[in-house]
Amino acid sequence: MMKIHVLQTGQVNISESLAFRDEEVNPSLPKLTVLSSYGRKNRKWFPVSAYLIEYDDYLILYDTGWHRDISPNGKYEKLSQIRHQTLKDYLTNQGLVPEGQAINEQLESLNIKTSDLDYVVLSHLDVDHASGLKHVGDAKKIMVSRDELDFANKNKIRYVGNMWKGVDLDTFEFEDRPHGTEEEIFENSPVGRVYDLFGDGKFQLINIPGHTPGLVALKIINTYTGKYVLLFSDGGYAEKSWREMILPGIADNLDQAIESLKWIRQTSLNENCIESLANHDPDIKPHIIEL
């Protein structure tokens, strides 16, 4: 049996249009910042999730959420988060981590040492997913897709490289799966690119490009029953994203983002899907899934 802990490591305050694309205005990233009147309106707090999976003797963490440095005293502190994520990122994303919600604090409450983590898998390297990396820097293996790290290294404006500076990142390459009909290929991945973590079909790291080129969804499968849980990070910001086909406000490749969201929708509607979770869905509360 696998146990999935759905954790929330604080919140992020963003323009609602960064989460749910405004197709009429189609705002650029600068327009989504607090420097723009558009970006100052309709700002909302969204949860920042991370997921701990217990499987046999393995402990796997998917994403790390915010670092404690963004809220040293468990409260909203402007200067602290500017120091941690830089001014340019603060203009778009304001963070908050109440006491006890940083990922290392939550692991400690479960009597788990960060050094006990066998794998930390990063969906991508945006600040609210990679900020907490140094809290778990002594994990046995920290993984990010090669496509994502290459993209991040070329995009200094979007990413904060200091968040993983000094952290031993293990990059992996997706395996192309071009065999079969278009429908069969699409069933596995929107672009036919998958990395099987253990080689037994239970943990599928699936490339869902669009928001970023190396964005990774995690499909956790009970291979005896066929039932599964899908964690799709920022492929969409909530359940309504795939139900109503609402894209994220920021996409490196819009066409790929559409195909990835179509795949998330199809995979989520499958009768074998127990839960399908976005990282920032306001309707999702911390809970445990047994699979």
Amino acid at site 51: Y
Please name the residue ranges forming H helices in the chain: 16-19, 37-40, 78-85, 87-90, 103-109, 127-130, 146-154, 182-188, 239-244, 254-269
Task: Using CB atoms within 10 Å of the CB of residue 261, give its burial: 0 to 12 exposed, 13 to 18 middle, 19+ buried.
Answer: buried
The predicted pLDDT at position 188 comes to 80
Q: What is the pLDDT of residues 25-84, one digit of tens each?
A: 988 888 999 999 999 999 999 999 999 999 999 999 999 999 999 999 999 999 999 999
Q: Does domain 2-290 have CATH number 3.40.50.300?
A: no
Amino acid at site 108: E
Give 78's Cβ-side CA count (13 Å radius).
Answer: 1
**Residue 178 pLDDT > 70, yes or no?**
no
Question: Can you give the pTM of this predicted structure?
Answer: 0.95
Q: CA-to-CA distance for 121 and 12, rounded, in angstroms?
A: 21
Task: Using CB atoms within 10 Å of the CB of residue 274, give its burial: 0 to 12 exposed, 13 to 18 middle, 19+ buried.
Answer: middle
The predicted pLDDT at position 8 comes to 97
